[in-house]
Chains A and B, each alone.
Chain A
């Protein structure tokens, strides 16, 4: 690995060559996602000028604290971000899909998701899925589910009708609580099956309000 030495023009050149893929990769990632430097800066909290300098290959030695949020934002590894082979990865992933940003709500906020101004929600989640403007994300908070586990990110789409077998977010209007249920239709009757083992299956009555269908579950292992 090249050692950065500010006094040697030779090693400076090496650093630039070494990081050339980085600026190329970032340019591809940002143009595919149609992001400006300011927009990416706002999303990840890194100064816009820093991002611009990396794009122009002027930043000789960006730090991990700069690179990590960028890699995380585009859901790629640091290796992929600064490596030679990223081009293929990015090209394949981004060609068909545009990344969408949706807000991450709390389990309580989602009851009134239609009343919220999504722009003001600080927590954002990226998804490559095509979603409606009312889509949002939830984070699984407890271990007691048999299907989803703690810290899974669920992408919720309120604008599609659930089909039998779908996982849905249900609000109990009386108790003002939300939970994940499996949506089951059987002979004109709709059942909501809890994911916590041992709890009783309920019949869909006006007491329950289906807030949306889970269309994706993201799991971070590390």
Chain B
């Protein structure tokens, strides 16, 4: 299924497994531990106790805040919002987020408490739920699926690890989309962004796969990301829409005499700027600008997007 939105950050989350069959848990752990962090429970009551006290690390972070400095903040019918993108970027260096549970995989057939019963009590939870069922799915499983109590179910005795792998992949992606969709909606207040353009999403996800990128975190409102590969090394994926490019040129048209060469290359779509995380172009002297422009590639989506990659930390001077 082709995703419609890109999450504003993604990293391999934790999967919580609950099954009274220890052998099954060991096998699952072996299969998935390379790509995900796994925690498992043999006893459903212990699992429930843990899940009831579990608090998502990401949900504690405020990515938006009420912008009380605004002059219209105190009117009844306006609520200005400030989005703090640097909070997202900082997640790249926050180790506690590795414990973020995105998926609960639970056996339906357990002594004392069925998987569906447990899922019912966890209905408020943001993580996705996969139910492992017997060969024929009883009506109650189908009902639970239709009511949104569980997100997927899979027959355990036909246990197909490929299928489970695919579901885990899909659901963890959806999980991060869900917890960041409100920020994306704010980012797209005045115009749609690259992050909801299917052409771009398709390109970006393929690019990540080809470069073994397993984590990404938004670094600016144009849709650029700090990315990390399997070995943990960081780099940047920089993107700028035609609109953002025009804005950049308009903003600097009064300095055309000093930086004509660079602005010309940007105007022709040959170069795009990246001054570093949290850095603005105007913080740098024109003499130093040459160090912050990169050869651009083009993607044609809803509009033209210019993209590049950089290993340079940028702005460290």
Contact = CB atoms under 8 A, between A and B. Distances in A.
B255 interface: yes
Nearest to B247: A49
B254 A37 contact: yes
Interface in B216-268: 247, 250-252, 254-255, 258
B287 to A, nearest CB: 8
Interface in A178-211: none
A6 B72 contact: yes
Contacts of B78: 6
Interface stretch (A38-46, A95-103, A158-166): A38-46
A39 B71 contact: no
B128 to A, nearest CB: 40
Contacts of B252: 36-38, 48
* Chain B CB within 10 Å, residue with most, of A36, A39, A119: A36
A47 B285 contact: no
Chain A interface size, as a band, is 10 to 19
A42 B283 contact: yes
Contacts of B280: 41, 47-48
Given A42-B283, A48-B281, A119-B285, A36 B255 contact: yes
Given A37-B254, A38-B252, A48 B71 contact: no
B258 A36 contact: yes
Interface size class of B (residues with CB under 8 A): 10 to 19
Contacts of A4: 71-72
Contacts of A119: 285
A52 B251 contact: yes
Nearest to A49: B251
Interface of B: 69, 71-72, 75, 78, 247, 250-252, 254-255, 258, 280-286
A63 interface: yes
Nearest to A6: B72
27 contacts: A4-B71, A4-B72, A36-B252, A36-B255, A37-B251, A37-B252, A37-B282, A38-B251, A38-B252, A38-B255, A39-B286, A41-B280, A41-B282, A41-B283, A42-B282, A42-B284, A42-B285, A48-B251, A48-B252, A48-B280, A48-B281, A48-B282, A49-B247, A49-B251, A52-B250, A52-B251, A61-B71
A42 B284 CA distance: 7
Nearest to A31: B254
A163 to B, nearest CB: 37
